[in-house]
């Protein structure tokens, strides 16, 4: 039983972080619930400026990538958010039940509005749109990373407020917390890997060629110690490599470190690149086939 909802923004070709942090678990949820909905959330993408032609292309890119990762239309509903106008309609209704201070305290708003002098109203209220995405389908389960827990709590609160005022309509959606797998930028291990990062070498995309993947790992920022250890606080660069290696190979971080015994970080980078190529190559090949069919 139960209904799963999740979304991804069409802001570029998805990357290793999107895959390890979300898409891989999305694949696994298929079949375990009575319905599973995955949305390409273009209304969320326009909370920051977008070029219309590029956005259209990114939506198709994302659809191809989702299919290539193993999300199957036979087992889940894959759709473009803006094609269902009720997302925006319900968002308005829920926005009327949400207080401004409640939104102002959400960490992502605090973070994102800090770099911009004035964030848009859309950026401010996008957690309400997220609540609408989830509640519109009366979803019961939402796969989320740690960074999204507070947004899900908003959806839960607003569902309760609505149910209290107007009668039981929405189930209270539960988090499906995935093991935290934050993939960091290969150029700056203090920040997360991101689709819209302008530094080409920072992000490993699911459509990168093996040569490109090797190049990006060879250039990955580490530190001046050549030994391979796992210490995210003090050695974020090398630890990111270990975490990626562990995730794509089904190892624990300790096992990954052990497999690097006798290697320096330069040699280890090639080992990690190879493990990533192994994981990503089949996805890239399938995405290419799907693209040509579009
Ligand atoms: N670096 C990451 N490590 C692990 N998980 C990640 N996710 C994103 N980056 C990482 C997870 O991917 C899912 C879809 O994300 P999204 O596209 O809806 O938004 P985002 O988190 O803003 O992703 P990006 O790649 O950073 O895009 P831009 O550059 O457009 O902001 C989410 O479950 C997210 O946690």
How many angstroms does the Cα of residue 166 sit away from the middle of ligand 1? 34
* Predicted local distance difference test score (pLDDT) of residue 108: 79
Active-site residue flag, 117: no
Question: Order of strands, edge to edge, in the sheet holding 174-177?
Answer: 77-80, 35-40, 3-8, 141-144, 174-177
Separation of alpha carbons 91 and 63, rounded Å? 24
pLDDT in tens, 189-199: 999 999 989 99
* Predicted local distance difference test score (pLDDT) of residue 117: 67
Of 217, 248, 213, the residue nearest 21 (C-alpha): 248
Residue whose CA is closest, atom 32 of ligand 1?
22
pLDDT at residue 42 above 90?
A: yes
**What is the mean pLDDT of the segment spanning 63-88?**
97
Which residues are within 8 A (CB) of 275 and not within 5 positions of it... i.e. 6 or more apart? Answer: 244, 245, 248, 249
**What is the mean pLDDT of the segment spanning 218-246?**
97
CB-defined site of ligand 1, < 6 Å: 8-9, 11, 17-18, 20-22, 145, 147-148, 181-183, 192-196
What ipTM was reported for this prediction? 0.96
**What is the mean pLDDT of the segment spanning 15-20?**
96
pLDDT at residue 209 above 90?
A: yes
pLDDT at residue 222 above 70?
A: yes
Give the pLDDT band (50/70/90) at residue 37. Answer: very high
Give the pLDDT band (50/70/90) at residue 111. Answer: confident
pLDDT in tens, 83-98: 999 999 999 999 999 9
Placement of tokens 């107007």 in the chain:
166
Separation of alpha carbons 50 and 27, rounded Å? 28
Which of 10, 18, 25, 240 has most ligand 1 atoms within 8 Å of CB, for mutation?
18
Which residues are within 8 A (CB) of 266 and not within 5 positions of it... i.e. 6 or more apart? Answer: 218, 226
pTM: 0.94
136 compared with 1, residue with greater pLDDT: 136
Angle at which helices 121-136 and 86-95 pack, to 10 degrees?
A: 110
Tokens of 242: 């270990």
pLDDT at residue 179 above 80?
A: no
């Amino acid at each position: 039983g139960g209904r799963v909802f999740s979304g991804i923004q069409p802001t570029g070709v998805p990357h290793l972080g999107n895959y390890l942090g979300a898409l891989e678990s999305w694949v696994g949820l298929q079949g375990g619930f009575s319905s599973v909905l995955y949305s390409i959330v273009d209304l969320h993408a326009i909370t920051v400026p977008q070029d219309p032609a590029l956005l259209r292309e990114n939506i198709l890119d994302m659809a191809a990538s989702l299919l290539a990762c193993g999300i199957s239309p036979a087992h889940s509903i894959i759709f473009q958010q803006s094609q269902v106008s009720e997302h925006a309609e319900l968002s308005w209704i829920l926005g009327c039940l949400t207080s401004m201070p409640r939104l102002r305290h959400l960490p992502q708003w605090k973070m994102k509005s800090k770099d911009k002098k004035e964030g848009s109203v859309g950026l401010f209220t996008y957690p309400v749109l997220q609540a609408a995405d989830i509640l519109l389908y009366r979803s019961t389960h939402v796969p989320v990373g740690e960074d999204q827990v507070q947004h899900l709590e908003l959806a839960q609160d607003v569902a309760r407020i609505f149910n209290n005022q107007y009668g039981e309509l929405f189930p209270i959606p539960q988090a499906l917390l995935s093991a935290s797998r934050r993939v960091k930028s290969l150029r700056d291990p203090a920040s997360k890997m991101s689709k819209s990062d302008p530094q080409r070498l920072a992000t490993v995309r699911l459509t990168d060629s093996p040569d490109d993947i090797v190049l990006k790992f060879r250039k990955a920022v580490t530190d001046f110690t050549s030994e391979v250890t796992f210490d995210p606080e003090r050695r974020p660069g090398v630890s990111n490599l270990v975490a990626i290696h562990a995730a794509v190979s089904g190892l624990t971080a300790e096992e990954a470190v052990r497999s690097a015994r006798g290697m320096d970080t330069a040699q280890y980078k090639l080992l990690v690149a190879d493990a990533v190529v192994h994981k990503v190559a089949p996805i890239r090949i399938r995405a290419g086939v799907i693209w040509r069919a579009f």
